[in-house]
Structure 1
Amino acid sequence: AAVTFGIGLWRGQPAVDVFMAAVALAVGAIPEGLPAAVTITLAIGVHRMAQRNAIIRKLPAVETLGSTTVICSDKTGTLTENQMTVQAIFTGTELFQVEGVGYAPHGQVTREGAPIKLDDAPALRACLVAGVLCNDSQLVQHGEIWDVVGDPTEGALLVVARKAGLNLNQVNQEAPRVEVIPFESQLQYMGTFHKTQEGGETILYVKGALEKILGLCSRALGPQGIEVPLDQAEVLMKAGALADEGLRLLAFASRPVLPGDPLTNEAVEKGDLTFLGFQAMMDPPRPEAIAAVCSCQSAGIAIKMITGDHAKTARAIAEKMGILQASTGHSRAMRVMTGAELAACSFDELPAAADDTVVFARVSPEQKLRLVEALQIRNHIVAMTGDGVNDAPALKQADIGVAMGRSGTEVAKEAADMLLTDDNFASIKAAVEEGRGVFDNLTKFIVWTIPTNMGEGLVLLAAIALGAMLPILPVQILWINMTTAIALGLMLAFEPKEPGIMHRPPRNPQRPLLTGTLIFRTVMVSTLLLAGAFGLFLWFSEHGASLAEARTIAVNVFVMVELFYLFNCRSLERSMFQLGVFSNPWVTWGVLIMIGLQLLFTYAPFMNVLFHSAPIGWEAWGSIIAIGVGSYMIVGVEKWIRRIMRTH
C-alpha cells in the first residue's frame, strides 16, 4: 500500500485519489473474517468430538489430531472391555477351570470337568484367600445385577472366590488387615499384612506380575497344602500356555512375618515367599475397538499397544485386535518388546526399535515417555493414552495426550490434550476422523477466502497502473470481506466429512497448507475476479453507467464469483454433485442470505448512501451471473482434469 501511494504521487495523480487507493489496497489485503472463521471451525470440531465421547481441552489439538501418525494405546479398558473374568487357576501343580462370565458369582471351579470342594484342595483355597485378602475392591449386588466397586481385576478375584464357595466377609474377619503396600508399576506387586485370629501371627500376602513374584519365592505350596520345592520351569510352561490364549496372569505368594520385620515393601523384597499359584483371567477385546483399529490402519496410522501384561498375553490380544497380524515370519515389525528389552536399548537404538515394534509388554509408565520421545525423533505425530499419575509426563510430551475420563486421575487429565468420556479406543478413532474433517474445512475456507483478497488487490493495482478510477472503494471492500466471510465462508465450517476421509494417509506436518495445486487454483480464481470485476467496470463505465453503478457492478461480481466458488470449495477434489447439492443445508441458507444482502446493498437507499452504491439493471445482472457461473465451470473443469490425471 505504501509503495502504491508513492508510485501514484510520482506519476502525478491526485494525492486524495492515491491515498484512497492505498487504503483500499491495505483493506483488501487483510482477510478480516479469517480469525473468526478459524476459531468457529475449531469450536464446531470440538462440539462434534464431544458428541463422540472425546472432550478437547486444548483447541489446537483439534487440528493436530488430523496429522496423527502413531497412536500408542493402553490395552486394559481402552482396547478391551475391562471386565475381567477368571477362567483358570494354577496352584499346587494342578490346573483348575472356572465356569461363568461377568461379575455374577454363578458357576463352579472344576478340575478335569468335575466340581471341586475347597476342603479337598487346600492349595486352591490358599490361592483364593490370597486374592480376597490382598484386595481393595468390593463385590456388590443391585437387584439381580452384580457389579464391582474398585478395580475390575480385583473384582474378578472376589467373584471366583465366591464361585468356589468362600464367604468373603468371613475371610476378611478371620484375618483383618493391619497394613498395606499399594500397587506401584515400578514394584509390579501389591502386598497386605493380616493378623490371624488363630495364633495371632501376622501373614504377608503378595500379588503381582508372575515373573516378579516367582523371583521372590523360594518354595511353593503343594496340592495338599504342604510346602514343596518350587518348580519354576513347570510354572512358566503352564503360564505360557494360558498367556498364548490371551489370558492375563496374576500370581500370589505369602509368608509369615517374623518379629521385627517392618510392615513395608522391605518385607517383600527380602524374598523367601511361598508361591501359592496364579489366576488367569480374560479381558475380552471391545468389538468396536477392533473395527476402530482396522479403520486407523486403513488411514495410515500405526497402532502400538502398551500393557503391563505378560508378553504372550499381549501378543495374543494384539492378534485378536488386528494390531499384530498372526505371525507367519520373523519380521522385526511383528515382534513384541518387553519393558526389560526396552530398558536395555541405547538412546540411538530406541527410535528404530520403537518404530518397528507394535506391542510393548511389561512396560512401566516411565518407559512410555521414552517411547514418545523415540517416535518423535522419527518425525511421528504421536497420540499417547494414559490414566495414572505416572503417565502424566508421557501425556505432556506426546503431540496428543489422551487421558481416560472415567478411570483417569486428575493429574493425568490435567496433562492431557483430550479426555475420553467412555475410555474407549473407538473414541480416539472418532476424534482423529473429526480432526481430519476440521482441517479439511479450515483448508477449504482459506482456499476460498484468499482469492477474494488477492483479486481485490489485483483490481486496485490494475486501476492504479492504468490511471483509472478505483473500481471498488475501501468501505465496499470491507462490505465484501465481512459479509461474505460470515454468510458464505463460515458455512464451510459445517461441511460434513467427505467420504473416504479415513482411507487416506495422515497429512505430513512439513507439507504446506497450500499445495501447488491449491496455489494454482487461488491464482486462477483471483485472475477471474480481476478480469470479471475490472472488465465489467470498464465496460459499463464506457457505455453510460455512472461511477456508482459501475462500482456496484464490480462489487456484485466479487460477491457472485465468491458465491459460486463456494460450491467449488465444498470439496477440493470432487464436484458438489458428488457430495450432494443440499448435503450441507448451511451453505444453502448462507447463499440465500448473501443474495438478500446484495439486493439491499444495490437497491436500498440507505445502503446506497452508506456504501456509495446505486441500483443496476437486468443487463448488468445477466453479465454478473454469467461471470459467476463461468468461474464455477472453469474451476470445475480444472478439478476434473486433475482427477483424470491422478487416475492415469
Structure 2
Amino acid sequence: MESQKIHPHQLSADALAAKLQVDVQRGLSEAEAQRRLKQHGANRLTPQRGKSPWRLLFEQVHQPLVYILLIAAAVTGFLQEWVDSSVIFGVVLVNTLIGFIQEANALKAIDALSRVLTVTSTVLRDGQRRSIAATELTIGDVVLLQSGDKVPADLRLLQIRELQIDESALTGESVPVEKSLAILSNATVLADRTNMAYASALVTYGSGLGVVVDIGDHTEIGRINSLLSRTVELETPLTKKMGQFSTLLLWVILGLAAVTFAVGVWRGQPLLEMFMAAVALAVGAIPEGLPAALTITLAIGVSRMAKSNAIIRKLPAVETLGSTTVICSDKTGTLTQNQMTVQSLYAGGALFGFTGSGYTPEGDIYLNNTAVAHSHYPVLMECLKAGLLCNDARLIADVNTWRIEGDPTEGALLVSAHKAGLHQATVSLANPRLDAIPFESQHQFMATLHHNQALDVRQVYLKGALESILARCDKAFDLHMQPMALDKALLQQQVEQLAAQGLRVLKY
C-alpha cells in the first residue's frame, strides 16, 4: 500500500476506502493509526539540508574581484603599508558580512515553508472525533474540515456541504474552488481535481469529510518544497558582467605591472626596487571601493523589497528583478495580493464609486466624481448592509494590517460596508441571523434571514448571480428607499458596462 501509486481522484469513495482499508464511518483504530504512522512516517515536510554558516561565508568571498582584493591586502601588508592593507581588508569584510547576513535571513524565511503543516486537525478514530496534531495524521485517516481550517494533508473528499477551498498557494487562482464528489479521469490536472483537498490550502466556506491519501513529502506542497531544494542557481547578468570585468581587470593589472617591471629592469633599475614599484602599481589600480559600493546599493534594494514582504535570497537578484521589462501571467493572485476590492455600487439608479484598495477599511464614497456623505443615501446604506449581513467572512485587524477569514469576495463586501461606518459586530448584533441558505451552484445565490430588532420585523437578504436574483425581484428602490418599478433592461445594460471594465459583478 504505497501512497504514491494511488490515484484517488479517479476512484469512487467505496473503492478508495477498500484500497486504504478504512471504515469511513469510524475511521482508523488507534492501534492501526500508530502502525501506519510507523510505516509511513510523520506528516511533516523533511527539512532540507541547508548550507553551513562556513559555506555561506565562503560563497560571499568566492568572487574573482574579492580574490584580487585579498591578494592586494596581503601584499600591502607584506610591504608594511598598514593603512592601505586595513582599508582593503575592511572593504572585503563589509562586503562579505552584508552578503552573509542577507542570505542567512532569506534562508530562514524560505525554511518557513517546512512548517506549513504544523496545525491541528479533527479526525475520526475508533468512531470518535479527536483533535490531533497534523503531524500525527497517516494514510487512511478520516479528516473533518470546516470553514477556517487549513487542510492538513492531501485528502480525497468523501462528503461535502457547500465546500469551497482557497488553493491559491498551489494554483495561483485567487477564487476559492467549489468542491464536488464527481469521479474524475486519471488525466485531470491538479487545478481541476475538484474532489481533492490539498495540504496547506484554506477552507473558506462550508464543511467536508475526506480520507488522507498523501502525507508529508508526498503531498503536492511537499513536492514543491522538494523542488525548491533542488533549484539550480543561475548567474544573473550582473554577476556575469562582474566576473568578466574582474577577469579582464586582473589580466590588465598583471600586464601593466609586468610591463612596468620589465621596462625598469631593461633601463637598469634594481630588481627589488622595480618589483616594489610594480606591486604598488597593481595595488593602486585595484578599485577596492567597487565591491562595497555595489553590495551596499544592492542591500538598499533588498531592504526596500523586504518592506513589501518580498524575500530576496541573493543580493544580485535585485538587479535581475529591476531589469525585468515584461512579465507574462495568466493567474489572478500570482502577481497581486489576492485581495478583492469593491470599486463601484449601482443603487437607486446612481453609480457610486469607492476609493481605497485591499482589505484596509479606509476610503471615500463618490457620486459623479464628488465625495458624498453616505448617510444621505439610504439606498446605499441598505445595499451595504445587505452585503454585510448576507456574508460568512470575517474582517480581522492584525498588527499594522487587516486580513479576511473566508471568501475574498465576501471580504470585499465587508470592507466596503466598513468604509460607510457599518461595522460587522454592531450591525449583526442589531440584526441577528435566524437562518441561512448557503450558496449552491444550481441556485446561484445565498440567502440569510435576520430579525431587525429596531423595526421588529424579519428580513431576507440575498446575493448572487444577476440572473438568479432578477428572477426573484419585481421592484427596486430609489435613492431614498421608495419603491419603484424594476427596469431589468437598464440594469442589464449597467451590468454589461461594469463587466466591460473588468469588474466582477454581484447582485444583492
Tell me which interval the TM-score lies in, with the shorter structure as reference length.
0.3 to 0.5
Q: TM-score, normalised by structure 1?
A: 0.28
Greater relative CO, 1 or 2 (CA 8 Å, sep 6+): 1
Give TM-score, length-normalised by structure 2.
0.36
Higher Cα radius of gyration: 1
The structure with the largest helix share of the pair is 1
